[in-house]
Amino acid sequence: MNPVILLSIILLTPVACAVLVLVFSRFANIRDAISLISAIVLFTAVCLLFPFAYSNSIELKLFNLFPEIAFKFRVESLGMLFATLASLLWIINTIYSIGYMRGNNEKHQTRFYLCFAIAISSTMGLSMSGNLLTLFIFYEILTLSTYPLVTHKGTMAAAKSGRVYLGVLLGSSIAFFLFAIIWTWSITKTLEFTPGGIFSKDVDPAALSILLLLYVFGIGKAAIMPMHRWLPAAMVAPTPVSALLHAVAVVKAGVFSITKIVIYIFSPGLLVKIPTTELVIYIAGFTIIIASWIAFKQTNLKRMLAYSTISQLSYIIMAAMLATPFAIIAAALHIVAHAFGKITLFFAAGSIYTASRKTELNQLNGIGKIMPWTMVAFTIGGLSMIGLPPLAGFISKWYLLMGAINVQSWFVLAVIIISTLLNAGYFLPIIYSAFFKSPPAGETEIKEAPLPIVIALVCTAGLTLIFFFFPTVFTTLTQSLKGIL
């Protein structure tokens, strides 16, 4: 099939899903089926486009936003990695959502599926964006489309969390990200994603230093401290939304955007010469350790997972800033490894809540004995976050270690070791309590969550294992980046 047609299908399928969900809003079974079928169609189109990911020449230009800046899309390997990941997880998250939303009798389910489809649409647009302005437009649509999902429950707490969510993400993107894009245009007269970067050698290093900081802190979805507050606040949302935020789209859009800007706007060769690059590495390392420590101190399961995500995201930022081939590959692979592991953990948290209404860590004694499928999946996700083999998290951490050793960055090595110990410190006690302590009296009647929930979390736990043994799909895409690093 013509790759431009495939690209058009990828961009339009989630939009069509949103329209059809609205049209059939009164027919729950049809509405849910539309969401699932659309997710399958999207993933199929992405897979068919896969062979064209390496040419970097497939473009779709729609119109000019400004005389010299087009609203355009381009297929390249990093974007294909993100699109493949998001479209695959949309299928599984839809299966999970059907079980969760019905199992918990959630209200406004049509709005949920509608906004979810728009969020996936913006994720596809962002992943395939051909220039910075196109990326920025979809970045903002993603923020706005996920706001109703964050505030889905309609409570005062949800409204407060929604204000924090919008305030941090819109505030940072307009004040810093958009300003950085305008400044970049004023220096280069282009916003195209270009192998080798777009800045000439005679650009003032001071300007590049400030620009780098504007991009890193302006892309608030990457949740580097102090731009992280929106992420724990958003945990008031239903668990399928938490999975969307942490694994499928939102935070991954943040770290993907930073990685893409490093490769195609600055270029790794230029990045190592920018004075503030090392500062960003230290800030990312600080975020990893502090967020891991906060996660270690949490008593609520979802808040612990939220701070774990903040920590894990900064692995990707730190790897991108090292700017070596191994480190850039580590950044790209950790987007995938973290997504598989963390979506499994959130699915498990939602499964526990649906079956038992438990949300606190001290309530999980013996739960592995009465919800074995859920807690085995949780164990796989947790061990992957620690970085143990044979799980996905080991591969990306291994590449990051190699990248740090190549440039003899002892700070990065120390951060990895300390954070790994902290990760073990908050995941292993949960696993131990779940399987080796006895459940409270009277809780033996608790059973596994509805079947769609169990199917979904088993699938993502399986992907976390499969990625270790068969990483070729994603490593091939990341290895192709070497030609432009």
Q: Is 70 helix (H, G, I), strand (E, B) or coil?
A: strand
Rounded distance between C-alpha atoms, residue 386 and residue 426, angstroms: 10
Query: Encoding tokens for residue 310?
Result: 């903040």
Helix (H) or strand (E) holding 65: strand 59-66
State which H helix or E strand residue 181 sits in: helix 178-188
Q: Is the dihedral of CA 264, 477, 14, 113 positive or negative?
A: negative
Task: Say what the pLDDT of residue 240 is.
Answer: 83
80, 220, 238, 436 from 275: Cα distances, Å:
31, 22, 42, 51
DSSP state of 60: E
Looking at residue 239, what is its pLDDT?
81
328-356 burial, b for 16+ CB within 10 Å, e for fewer? bbbbbbbbbbbbbbbbbbbbbbbbbbbbb
285-328 pLDDT, tens digit each: 999 999 999 999 999 999 999 999 999 999 999 999 998 888 99
Is residue 412 assigned to a domain? Answer: yes
Is 135 domain-assigned? Answer: no
Judge whether 193 lies within some domain.
Answer: no
**Residue 425 DSSP symbol:** H
Q: What is the pLDDT of residue 482?
A: 61
Cα separation values, 282 from 31, 75, 255, 415, 426, Å: 47, 33, 17, 10, 23
Residues of the chain with pLDDT under 70: 246, 442-444, 482-485
Dihedral, CA of residue 47, residue 53, residue 55 and residue 61, to nearest 10:
90
Q: Please tell me the distance from the alpha carbon of residue 130 to that of residue 106, in angstroms, as a whole number.
A: 38
Handedness of CA 321, 322, 327, 330 (dihedral sign): negative
Structure tokens belonging to residue 424: 């073990």
Query: What local confidence, expressed as pLDDT, does residue 361 receive?
Result: 92
Residues 6+ apart with CB under 8 A from 115: 145, 146, 148, 149
Number of folded domains that form the chain: 1
User: Model pTM?
Assistant: 0.94
- What are 366's two structure tokens? 């013996």
182 falls within a domain: no
Amino acid, single-letter form, for residue 35: S
* 254/218 Cα distance (integer angstroms): 10
Neighbours of 360 (CB within 10 A): 11
pLDDT at residue 443, rounded to an integer? 67
Q: Supply the range of the domain harboring residue 380.
A: 276-485
- The pLDDT, as a whole number, for residue 483 is 58
Query: Is residue 161, in this structure, part of any structural domain at all?
Result: no
Closest by Cα among 291, 341, 375, 284 to 463? 341
pLDDT at 439: 82
401 within some domain? yes
What tokens does 69 get? 């800046």
Two tokens, residue 6: 């495939």
CA distance readout (Å), 30 to 36, 37, 164, 408: 10, 10, 35, 56
Question: Which residue in 10, 243, 43 sits closest to 149, CA to CA?
Answer: 243
Identity (one letter) of the amino acid at 139?
Answer: Y
pLDDT for the residue numbered 438? 84
